[in-house]
Homo-oligomer: A and B are copies of this chain.
Amino acid sequence: MNSHWLKPSAWTLTCALMMTAVPMRSAHAQDNGATDIQKVVPQGKLPGQLAPYFIRSGEGERWLVGGLVATLIARGEDTGEMFETAILTGGRDANVPPHTHARSHEALLVLDGEVEVWLGNGHYLMHRGDYASIPPGTPHALKMRSHRTQVLSWTTGKEVGPLYKALGQAYAGYVQPEKVDPAIAADLKKKAEATADVRFDARPLAKGTPQRVQNATIPDKNVPYVLAAGEGQRMLAGDQLFTFLGDQKNSDGRFIAVMTEGPPGPMIPAHYHEKHTENFFCLDGIMTMRANGETLTVHPGDYVHVPARTIHAYQLNSPYTRFVGFLTPGLFESFFRTLGDKYDGYVYPQKPGPFRFDRVLAKINELDLKLVESPAPKK
């Protein structure tokens, strides 16, 4: 392992500054204000209240909606009404018919397979790693094109999750039934409109050949967009590559979406945030998460919710580990821009880049970051 969260020159500075900025303490300390959040809820169960939790791939609250399984891994009640996350799993022709959310911002990340997406006036063909940002008021729809399709849908607030309950039925399975009618009845759509932030659209969808997603940059304002896998604003810190799929400008400050990848390295220093909520959805490899004293081993498809005031840390353990996070609100963008340097490559580098934690420390009082552990690497 030649990757370190801090290079020696930076450690010294960090440790010196931490002594004055934030007293050193353990993750179990009772005096740091971050212990009002309960311990991590056992894996596989949504907590039903604001709490840090860990949920294994496939688990969650499941609804069969037309031809797809909507697995809610974060509901309004689990996140302090800040956001919801659903994994949509289905076969060819499973779809979410055209609709608009008036108040909720949605982001889609394709996890597997091929999916046709209508977004405003755009019509796209999306694959694993492709991303879409859907501001409130944007008509959109999706139709799965492969036999194994999985899409992560992230939405602000608490008003989109109830959509699946209204449109579907509680479901014990994890994959769609082998034969299924993908159509959703009109009365269920009305029921959904009465209980969720959704308005279905009777206009027919554009036909023709969808455009392959090729966009390589994100806009500097809150408009609908798609982004090709691997693209976005890339920042390097040491050997970890952070890619902004969405920043504050794209969501009026509501959230940022950040992909992180890297090689095996040490655990980053334990810390917590006062004002923003984080979550970690693992896409590749193995990572270790610490959250309020629990140590969790996280594999692809596993999810960890880390609300504000949860002491946490992570470590990448596999030669190629990648996870995505949606940070709500988006104010932690300044941390990544302070720590990271712009990077042209598309994979983490063989030789780690500069690690400018000194820059973070210089403005730590402006960042929503409380360190609770020495950043010195474990021997």
Asked if A347 and B178 sit within 8 Å, CB to CB, the answer is yes
- Nearest-Cβ distance from residue A243 to partner chain B, whole angstroms: 10
Q: Which residue of B lies closest to A345 (CB)?
A: B178
A interface, by DSSP: helix, strand, loop or mixed? loop
Please provide the chain A residues from 252 to 272 with a CB less than 8 Å away from any CB of chain B in the complex. Answer: 263
Q: Which residues of B contact A114 (CB under 8 A)?
A: 127
Asked if B320 and A174 sit within 8 Å, CB to CB, the answer is yes
Asked if A229 and B146 sit within 8 Å, CB to CB, the answer is yes
Q: What per-residue 1/0 map shows which CB atoms of A79-122 lie under 8 Å from chain B?
A: 00000000001011000000000000000000011100000000
Asked if A113 and B91 sit within 8 Å, CB to CB, the answer is no
Asked if A284 and B263 sit within 8 Å, CB to CB, the answer is no
A176 on the interface (CB 8 Å rule)? yes
Asked if A173 and B57 sit within 8 Å, CB to CB, the answer is no
Query: Most chain-B CB neighbours within 10 Å: which of A113, A344, A350?
Result: A350
CA distance A95 to B178 in the complex (A): 38
A377 on the interface (CB 8 Å rule)? no
A136 on the interface (CB 8 Å rule)? no
A319 on the interface (CB 8 Å rule)? yes
Q: Give the contacting residue for A346; candidates B58, B148, B319; CB below 8 A.
A: B148
- Nearest-Cβ distance from residue A55 to partner chain B, whole angstroms: 11
Asked if A179 and B345 sit within 8 Å, CB to CB, the answer is yes
A300 on the interface (CB 8 Å rule)? yes
Q: Which residue of B lies closest to A286 (CB)?
A: B299
Interface residues, chain A, with chain B CB atoms under 8 Å away: 56-59, 89, 91-92, 112-114, 127-129, 146-148, 172-179, 228-231, 263, 284-286, 299-301, 318-320, 343-350
